[in-house]
């Protein structure tokens, strides 16, 4: 378990069209074991936020702390899952899952035990020997999730991981991810442009501003679990946040910022 804290974090990019404010003065405390969802207009800095927590990007200003210690770069205690799972096509499902353990020289017997447990957890036991090109999009994301869990990171960073999946597969992955979170108590920071997904999953949702990557509002989500995308309360809260998001996207557009999503 780990808590993550951003203190006055700013990140500026020098792009083709000048200076872009990726993040501006972000203050955010994420207690250990929280399931935090992040929404905001596209281009508002959601991926940048994950990147500075992952340590892929260093902030220009401010600090990112994990359990009170300033991070200096990427580490296996913070694992990122992307929209397009970056799996190894020349390895089968089981080999993909234990890849990190193998690289770390973990004992073969422990690798095998972990592989079995994780295959079961993500419902892929039957496909342990399949190669990645034989899998559906949802199965690939399950492999990516299992591979992340194999390293037992304290923090899981997920960047629109289910955006490319069909609705049924996404619903199933919501349930599986929620179960994994409940069983492992990991800190999860989950970026999505789907507000309803954020309310379905998050114990808190933060809305980022489309103008320069700051945090506009936050919404604690106290609904009981397990939740469903169609729950009236989920839909009601989501539509409130979506209204706010739309207004923000319009304001950002008028300011020449980002596009509405």
- Closer residue to Mg ion, CB minimum distance, 46 or 147: 46
- Closer residue to ligand ADP, CB minimum distance, 13 or 99: 13
* CA 149 centroid distance within chain: 13
**CA-to-CA dists, residue 7 to 15, 52, 53, 195, 220, angstroms:** 25, 12, 11, 25, 20
- Closer residue to ligand ADP, CB minimum distance, 16 or 133: 16
Among ligand ADP, Mg ion, none, the one that 15 touches (CB under a kind-dependent 5 to 8 A) is ligand ADP
Query: Residue 249 and residue 208: Cα distance in Å, rounded?
Result: 10
Query: Residue 259 and residue 261: Cα distance in Å, rounded?
Result: 6
The residues, ordered by sequence, that sit 6+ positions from 117 with a Cβ below 8 Å of its Cβ are none
Contact segment (CB under 5 A) with Mg ion among 7-15, 39-47, 107-115, 172-180 equals 39-47
Helix (H, G, I), strand (E, B) or coil at 246: helix
Cβ 189 to ligand ADP shortest distance, Å: 13
Query: Residue 88 and residue 78: Cα distance in Å, rounded?
Result: 20
- Closer residue to ligand ADP, CB minimum distance, 7 or 261: 261
Instruction: Answer yes or no: are the C-beta atoms of 128 and 165 closer than 8 Å.
Output: no
By CB under 5 A, residue 51 contacts Mg ion = no
Cβ 47 to Mg ion shortest distance, Å: 3
**Which pair of tokens denotes residue 35?**
């399931």
Among Mg ion, ligand ADP, none, the one that 203 touches (CB under a kind-dependent 5 to 8 A) is none
Cβ 11 to ligand ADP shortest distance, Å: 8
Among left, alpha and beta (phi > 0; psi -120 to 50; other), residue 3 is beta
Contact segment (CB under 5 A) with Mg ion among 19-27, 38-46, 141-149, 170-178 equals 38-46
Instruction: Answer yes or no: are the C-beta atoms of 76 and 150 closer than 8 Å.
Output: no
- Closer residue to Mg ion, CB minimum distance, 161 or 202: 161
Q: Binding residues for ligand ADP, per CB under 6 A?
A: 13, 15, 20, 22, 40, 42-48
Size of the site for Mg ion (CB under 5 A): 2
Which element (helix H / strand E) includes 14?
strand 4-15
Instruction: Answer yes or no: are the C-beta atoms of 104 and 114 closer than 8 Å.
Output: no
Cβ 207 to ligand ADP shortest distance, Å: 12
Cβ 227 to Mg ion shortest distance, Å: 24
By CB under 5 A, residue 47 contacts Mg ion = yes
**Which pair of tokens denotes residue 251?**
């304001």
Cβ 191 to ligand ADP shortest distance, Å: 7
């Amino acid at each position: 378990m780990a808590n993550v804290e951003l203190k006055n974090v700013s990140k500026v990019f020098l792009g083709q069209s000048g200076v872009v404010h990726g993040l501006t003065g972000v203050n955010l405390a994420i207690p250990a074991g929280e399931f935090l969802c992040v929404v905001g207009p596209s281009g508002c800095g959601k991926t940048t936020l994950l990147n500075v927590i992952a340590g892929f990007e260093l902030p220009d200003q401010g600090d990112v702390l994990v359990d009170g210690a300033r991070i200096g770069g990427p580490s296996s205690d913070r694992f990122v899952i992307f929209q397009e799972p970056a799996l190894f096509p020349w390895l089968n499902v089981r080999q993909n899952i234990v890849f990190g353990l193998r690289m770390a020289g973990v004992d073969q017997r422990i690798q095998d035990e972990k592989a079995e447990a994780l295959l079961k957890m993500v419902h892929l036991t039957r496909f342990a020997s399949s190669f990645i090109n034989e899998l559906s999009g949802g199965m690939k994301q399950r492999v990516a999730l299992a591979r992340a869990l194999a390293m037992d990171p304290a923090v899981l960073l997920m960047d629109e991981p289910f955006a490319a999946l069909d609705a049924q597969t996404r619903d199933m992955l919501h349930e599986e991810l929620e179960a994994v979170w409940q069983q492992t108590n990991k800190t999860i920071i989950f970026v999505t442009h789907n507000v309803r997904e954020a309310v379905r999953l998050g114990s808190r949702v933060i809305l980022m501003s489309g103008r320069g990557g700051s945090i506009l509002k936050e919404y604690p989500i106290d609904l009981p679990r397990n939740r469903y995308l169609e729950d009236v309360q989920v839909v009601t809260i989501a539509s409130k946040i979506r209204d706010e998001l739309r207004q923000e996207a319009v304001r950002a557009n008028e300011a020449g910022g980002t596009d509405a999503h």
